[in-house]
Chains A and B, each alone.
Chain A
Amino acid sequence: MSDILKDLVKILGNDKVAVDPLTIKLYSKNAVYYEGNALAVVFPETTDDVRRVVKYAYQNNLKIYPQGSASEIVGSTTPRKDGIVMNFMRMRKVKEVSYVDSYVVVEPGVRLIELNNILSRNGYMFPIDPASVKSATVGGAVNSGSGGMMGAKYGTMKDWVLGLEVVLPDEEATVLKLGGKTTKNREGYDLVRLIVGSEGTLALVTEAILRITLAPERVVTVTGFFRELEDLMRCVVEIKKSKLDVLIMEFVDDVTAKITIDTIKPKIAGEGHLLITSVSTVDEAASRVKDKLVDLYAGSGATNVVAAESMGEAEALGIFEIRRNLYPATIKMASLSLRDDEEKPYIFVEDISVPPSRLIEAVKRLREISEKYDFPMTLGGHVGDGNLHPVVWIREGDKDKMEQFNNFVLDIMRMAIELGGVISSEHGVGKVKKDGLVLSFKARNSIKALSIMRQIKRIFDPKNILNPDKMLPSV
């Protein structure tokens, strides 16, 4: 064992340091394919554990790669062999729940689903619900700036983090308590929001104070199929004008809906583009809201309309089945396209946003790009906030396709920028979208923003030991 590893064991104890190659390998991957390497994995259990490792790393120029579940898909958690993985899954206490003050104090390793299981007992929720809600941790969601299906109503992580405890990667491993427990807070620059979405490049999050909110008393959901995208968007506009409190507005394009229906044989089927709308309401109004939504769907030319007056009923009717099975259907399609059994498909989920009013154009151009590169694509997304998730797959080891894929992604990002959107909405930049960041700021004549970001990075992390080479493009 090298000196570094011996020192780490001395600092943390044997049971908090893994050095065996098979274990390290399991901590060097993310949910796409970025496979790195590392010297060791450390499992801090307290803020003090974190501090002691950071101090040592600072003195010895050892890189630290923080991670939770590593379910991200942009490469923000993958390590290199110049450093150690710091995994936060052992810091998983829910320290405080205050319904009166509407906040929780949690450690970074708590999974979002676990937090919601606790809150739901009292009718509350933490409304950030990424597709990875079962695996995503608080620390990962803070650092990725995650969003989810309810983004149209509740925004993303940046709207729900009130305060953070962080350890800085400096000589003293300084602990800072940023923000607080109140919704209103105007104490200088907003360092909390600077950390949210920083992808582990600025500081190590050891505790978070999160806002919580009441879960809706009742959720009414309606789904239907539209032959033309224009009709679907007309329906979206009508719903938005109707004073309904939209919670979820999901879309699956016609090609993808057909593939998914053929693959998984869901309870609900139809032809065309699928739109699912969930509205938050109260028990007494459920039936009225449902009728209104059904009218709006029918008025826009929807077919096979199915409505549910509660979440339970929606689940029983299978309303979310097609949307939720986008990913399994994609995997199935990918597997079918492989030449032999021992090949592995890599699934890539894109993450652009455009203003919702530009969605029709975005979908049409996405299809053109998909054809240009001959990448079969499934497409779904959050219509409510204009966030689209085209999904493609590549055979592992197919170098030509990989190169084409990079150009394919560049084209998609250029398109998003042209339509007034962004290149990353809720997944982050990591290693895959650094070029996109340059494109986006250039397009706005704001390239200096990137140099400001680099300077911020240097202030927080003078020796560049924390998650180096992530998010910020090199000069």
Chain B
Amino acid sequence: MSMYNYVAYPNKIIEIIRFNILNRGIPIHASKWTLFGWTDGIDVPREGEWLLFTGFMYQLTPYIEVLVDKLSRIKNGFLLTLGSMVNKVFDISRFISTPPRERIMEVHDVLRNIYRLLVASGYRVWYDEAIDTYPGTLLYEFGLDAELKYYGERLYHRLKSRGVDRIITVDPHTTYILKKVYPSIVPNYDVKVLSYLELIDPSTLCRVESELVYAIHDPCYYARGIGLYQGTREALASVGVRVVEPRFSGTNTYCCGGPIESLSPTFSAEIGRRRLDMLLRTGADKIIVMCPICMANLRRASSSDNIIDISQLLKRANTI
């Protein structure tokens, strides 16, 4: 049936990822430096009021970019079958070549900046490598709710054993899982979860002296998931960023295509191209994203260096 060929071997890919999350705590391999290197050189307290929980989404994205590139070239189902068997013994995602160092350093910069913004806004933020973990997003997206419940309970147990009751997240997917999904499936789940974008105090930010015009791309799980879209615009306006709205924005935002990057790389890429086109049609010079998945998928479609994370525009004012 040549009309339908956008999804190849979903069950094999799902099995590899499921196995990795449940047994290795992470969907694909990433080095320790990638995951935690953002704290190098800054003194992040190990105790405090608000736990910063990265969920590794930013850190894993550079690896996913390499993986998606490889997956889109797999034409032989046998390789994946073999892969899913071998994976149980040896993490095959380790075979994927490491992403460029600069890409990982960019991610570290984003996280470091978010941390500084929160401190400047007056939050007593703490971090612990032993608690931060992958939130289970892909189990959720693949509909593996039984596994997700088990995974969420383990995660919650880990949080409670350290007395965590307030969490700050940095990406929409982690935010949504911890804030909306786990409360409905993990018994007695009681943690206050907020995205850093809901917390930063605009008066602590430094004005952006730029003539550039920015198109804003809302992530689905912020805009539709938790209703966060007005606040981000207010923060950008308060620092003087000129923002334009694309066709489909706010709660009507248009997905970047990223969520199906592993199951249907061709579809995912084409959606990214169409969304990028909508964003560029506004006449904007640059595009603002606030999710690492959106960042990866739109960058994949873009030929120039014109997509930036919102945190790269929000800097702490010097006076603080």
Q: Contact at A15–B1, with CB atoms within 8 Å?
A: no
Q: Contact at A20–B1, with CB atoms within 8 Å?
A: yes
Q: Contact at B247–A15, with CB atoms within 8 Å?
A: no
Q: Contact at A14–B3, with CB atoms within 8 Å?
A: yes
Return A288 CB to nearest CB of chain B, in Å.
33
Q: Give the docked Cα–Cα distance between A15 and B3 (Å).
A: 5
Asked if A407 lies at the interface with its beta carbon under 8 angstroms from chain B, I say no
User: Which chain B residues border A46 with CB–CB below 8 Å?
Assistant: none
Q: Give the docked Cα–Cα distance between A15 and B247 (Å).
A: 29
8 Å CB interface, B226-254 against A = 247
Asked if A18 lies at the interface with its beta carbon under 8 angstroms from chain B, I say yes
Asked if A98 lies at the interface with its beta carbon under 8 angstroms from chain B, I say no
Nearest residue (CB) in A for B1 is: A20
Asked if B304 lies at the interface with its beta carbon under 8 angstroms from chain A, I say no
Return A17 CB to nearest CB of chain B, in Å.
8
Q: Give the docked Cα–Cα distance between A17 and B3 (Å).
A: 8
Per DSSP, chain B at the interface is: loop
Asked if B2 lies at the interface with its beta carbon under 8 angstroms from chain A, I say yes
Q: Contact at A117–B247, with CB atoms within 8 Å?
A: yes
User: Which chain A residues border B1 with CB–CB below 8 Å?
Assistant: 20
Return A459 CB to nearest CB of chain B, in Å.
37
User: Which chain A residues border B3 with CB–CB below 8 Å?
Assistant: 14-15, 17-18, 20
User: Which chain B residues border A14 with CB–CB below 8 Å?
Assistant: 2-3
User: Which chain B residues border A15 with CB–CB below 8 Å?
Assistant: 2-3
Q: Give the docked Cα–Cα distance between A361 and B4 (Å).
A: 55
Return A74 CB to nearest CB of chain B, in Å.
30
8 Å CB interface, A3-23 against B = 14-15, 17-18, 20
Contact with A along B1-20 (1 / 0, CB 8 A): 11110000000000000000
Q: Give the docked Cα–Cα distance between A445 and B247 (Å).
A: 54
Nearest residue (CB) in B for A20 is: B1
Return A251 CB to nearest CB of chain B, in Å.
30
Q: Give the docked Cα–Cα distance between A18 and B4 (Å).
A: 10
Q: Give the docked Cα–Cα distance between A15 and B4 (Å).
A: 9
Contact with B along A169-192 (1 / 0, CB 8 A): 000000000000000000000000
Q: Give the docked Cα–Cα distance between A99 and B199 (Å).
A: 47
Return B274 CB to nearest CB of chain A, in Å.
14
Q: Give the docked Cα–Cα distance between A159 and B4 (Å).
A: 41
User: Which chain B residues border A18 with CB–CB below 8 Å?
Assistant: 3
Q: Give the docked Cα–Cα distance between A117 and B249 (Å).
A: 14
Q: Give the docked Cα–Cα distance between A15 and B5 (Å).
A: 11
User: Which chain B residues border A17 with CB–CB below 8 Å?
Assistant: 3
User: Which chain A residues border B4 with CB–CB below 8 Å?
Assistant: 20
Return A438 CB to nearest CB of chain B, in Å.
43
User: Which chain A residues border B2 with CB–CB below 8 Å?
Assistant: 14-15
Nearest residue (CB) in A for B248 is: A117
Q: Give the docked Cα–Cα distance between A117 and B2 (Å).
A: 35
Return B103 CB to nearest CB of chain A, in Å.
36
Return B4 CB to nearest CB of chain A, in Å.
8
Return A44 CB to nearest CB of chain B, in Å.
15
Q: Give the docked Cα–Cα distance between A269 and B2 (Å).
A: 55
Return B140 CB to nearest CB of chain A, in Å.
25
Contact with A along B138-169 (1 / 0, CB 8 A): 00000000000000000000000000000000
Return B248 CB to nearest CB of chain A, in Å.
10
Q: Give the docked Cα–Cα distance between A84 and B289 (Å).
A: 45
Return B26 CB to nearest CB of chain A, in Å.
36
Nearest residue (CB) in B for A16 is: B3
Q: Give the docked Cα–Cα distance between A14 and B4 (Å).
A: 10
Looking at B2, B3, B4, B247, which has the most chain A CB atoms within 10 Å of its CB?
A: B3
Nearest residue (CB) in A for B247 is: A117
Q: Give the docked Cα–Cα distance between A117 and B248 (Å).
A: 11
User: Which chain B residues border A117 with CB–CB below 8 Å?
Assistant: 247
Return B54 CB to nearest CB of chain A, in Å.
38
Q: Give the docked Cα–Cα distance between A117 and B247 (Å).
A: 9
Q: Give the docked Cα–Cα distance between A117 and B246 (Å).
A: 12
Contact with A along B175-218 (1 / 0, CB 8 A): 00000000000000000000000000000000000000000000
Return A45 CB to nearest CB of chain B, in Å.
14
Nearest residue (CB) in B for A15 is: B3
Return B230 CB to nearest CB of chain A, in Å.
14
User: Which chain A residues border B247 with CB–CB below 8 Å?
Assistant: 117
Contact with B along A257-298 (1 / 0, CB 8 A): 000000000000000000000000000000000000000000
8 Å CB interface, B1-47 against A = 1-4
Return A20 CB to nearest CB of chain B, in Å.
6
Q: Give the docked Cα–Cα distance between A20 and B1 (Å).
A: 8
8 Å CB interface, B247-263 against A = 247
Q: Give the docked Cα–Cα distance between A464 and B219 (Å).
A: 51
Q: Give the docked Cα–Cα distance between A14 and B1 (Å).
A: 9
Nearest residue (CB) in B for A118 is: B247
Q: Give the docked Cα–Cα distance between A17 and B1 (Å).
A: 11
Nearest residue (CB) in B for A17 is: B3
Q: Give the docked Cα–Cα distance between A136 and B77 (Å).
A: 41
User: Which chain B residues border A20 with CB–CB below 8 Å?
Assistant: 1, 3-4
Return B189 CB to nearest CB of chain A, in Å.
28
Return A25 CB to nearest CB of chain B, in Å.
15
Q: Give the docked Cα–Cα distance between A18 and B3 (Å).
A: 7
Q: Give the docked Cα–Cα distance between A117 and B3 (Å).
A: 31
8 Å CB interface, A115-149 against B = 117
Return B46 CB to nearest CB of chain A, in Å.
48
Q: Give the docked Cα–Cα distance between A158 and B247 (Å).
A: 31
Nearest residue (CB) in A for B2 is: A14
Return B284 CB to nearest CB of chain A, in Å.
16
Q: Give the docked Cα–Cα distance between A14 and B3 (Å).
A: 7
Return B2 CB to nearest CB of chain A, in Å.
5
Q: Give the docked Cα–Cα distance between A117 and B252 (Å).
A: 14
8 Å CB interface, A189-212 against B = none
Q: Give the docked Cα–Cα distance between A20 and B2 (Å).
A: 11
Nearest residue (CB) in A for B4 is: A20
Contact with B along A447-458 (1 / 0, CB 8 A): 000000000000
Contact with B along A8-44 (1 / 0, CB 8 A): 0000001101101000000000000000000000000
Return B261 CB to nearest CB of chain A, in Å.
24
Nearest residue (CB) in B for A18 is: B3
Contact with B along A148-178 (1 / 0, CB 8 A): 0000000000000000000000000000000
Q: Give the docked Cα–Cα distance between A18 and B2 (Å).
A: 10
Q: Give the docked Cα–Cα distance between A17 and B4 (Å).
A: 11
Given contacts A14-B2, A15-B3, 8 further A-B contacts (CB under 8 A): A14-B3, A15-B2, A17-B3, A18-B3, A20-B1, A20-B3, A20-B4, A117-B247
**List of 6 A-B pairs having minimum Cβ-Cβ separation, nearest first:** A14-B2, A15-B3, A18-B3, A20-B1, A14-B3, A117-B247
9 sample A-B contacts, Cβ–Cβ < 8 Å, listed by A number: A14-B2, A14-B3, A15-B2, A15-B3, A17-B3, A20-B1, A20-B3, A20-B4, A117-B247
